[in-house]
Amino acid sequence: MNTPCIDFAPYSQMTDAECHVRIRAAREKLGSKVVILCHHYQRADVYQYADLTGDSLKLARLASQADAEYIVFCGVHFMAEVADIMSTSQQTAILPDLAAGCSMADMANLAKVERCWRELNEVLNAEEQFTPVTYINSAADLKAFCGRHGGIVCTSSNARTIAEWAFGQREKILFFPDQHLGRWTGHTMGIPLEEMLVWDPDLELGGLTPEQIRKARLLLWKGHCSVHQMFQPAHIRKFRSEHPDGLVISHPECSFEVCQLSDYVGSTEHIVKIVKEAPANTRWLVGTELNLVNRLAEEVKPQGKVVQFMAPTVCMCSTMQRIDPQHLAWTLDNLAAGHVVNPIRVPAHELAEAKLALERMLAVS
């Protein structure tokens, strides 16, 4: 007779040490049937169990190449959706805590994007004029929207390459949900700020006039990352006054002003690469999520490098933090007992079109 799924309640009362024992035992029992993917922002007590790590682009590639029966994604919901889209029908993507969402992804939903598309069609032919580009930090149905409208997905690693492809398809881009990544990408391509306008989904015509829409090359959805918006130009100016030889590197989800004041701007993979390859004894101010910054600081300390977090207050991805040892132990114990908890399954009618948009990205990248 089948045993019932193991309830989470007892795990919520376990100490981290008890959970670590269970995680190791379950992993040994499961062997190659399970692979654990972790985003760079994942907390250290979970990150230590990762088989594969990376930023969103790297993890999308790794998910498409994984051959394990179960893909346990220690990240947030949209990442597990990507794993489900890019894996085979015989594989199962799992998110240890379904509450691990993304506030940025929630700032654009299908109903609002479709309304935007209809309103753009009132001004000009959106299908002929705009290539929709969604940041990977978005729900599967928005990736599917891009797939069926000739659009594509991007990450912070490949945003410029994707934008160049998109402009090669049509004259304009509708970029969502993160305005800051879109603006910085357009800036690196030489697009004037006055040709990159913000679309407010809560206002008629996005708060723009028909003439503004016709003149714009890049429409930026009014969305942002709650972590990266915490970093301010004043933080950089203070660092430079105290450490004139110091270097600043920021994620492109930061504001335009922060990116402008930085010596380097790039994805989490880029940030890790630049700091690790930098000369010994250099000092860095890093504008991205705290878990990554702390991990990087420890890794480069032996080379005499000093890495400090940009904001004076603690600022981490709170939803990523929800994947803790308790949820990972519960997930793996259930798998070891033959039960799948929290499977992420993108509906079939969305999966094909979302996969098309993601495959375009991987091919272009």
Domain boundaries, the chain: 9-101+320-346, 105-225, 228-309
Of 113, 159, 117, whose CA–CA distance to 139 is shortest?
Answer: 113
What is the reported pLDDT for 1? 39
Q: What is the pLDDT along the chain (365 residues), one digit of tens a residue?
A: 367 899 999 999 999 999 999 999 999 999 999 999 998 888 889 999 999 998 776 887 787 888 899 999 998 889 899 999 999 999 999 999 998 878 888 899 999 999 999 999 999 999 999 999 999 999 999 999 999 999 999 999 999 999 999 999 999 999 999 999 999 999 999 999 999 999 999 999 999 999 999 999 999 999 998 889 999 999 999 999 999 999 999 999 999 999 999 999 999 999 999 999 999 999 999 999 898 999 999 999 999 999 999 998 766 666 667 899 999 999 999 999 999 999 999 999 999 999 999 999 999 98
Nearest to 30 by CA among 49, 48, 43, 13: 49
Q: Say what the pLDDT of residue 76 is.
A: 87
By CB neighbour count within 10 A (0-12 exposed, 13-18 middle, 19+ buried), where does 294 fall?
middle
Q: Which CATH superfamily is domain 105-225 in?
A: NadA-like (3.40.50.10800)
With respect to CATH, is domain 228-309 assigned 3.30.70.20? no
Indicate the fold that domain 9-101+320-346 takes in CATH: Rossmann fold (3.40.50)
Closest CA to 230 of 288, 185, 176: 288
Can you give the pLDDT at residue 322? Answer: 82
What pTM was estimated for this model as a whole? Answer: 0.92
Are the C-beta atoms of 243 and 235 separated by less than 8 Å?
no
Distance separating alpha carbons of residues 268 and 55, to the nearest angstrom: 6
Q: Classify burial at 363, counting beta carbons within 10 Å of its beta carbon; exposed 0-12, middle 13-18, buried 19 or more.
A: exposed
Same fold across 105-225 and 228-309 = yes
Tell me the three state secondary structure of residue 247: strand
Supply 171's token pair. Answer: 């004259």
User: 159-169 and 348-364 are packed helices; what angle lies between their axes, rounded to 10 degrees?
Assistant: 100
Q: What does the alpha-carbon distance between residue 220 and residue 167 come to, in Å, rounded to a whole number?
A: 15
320, 110, 72, 364: CA torsion to nearest 10:
-100
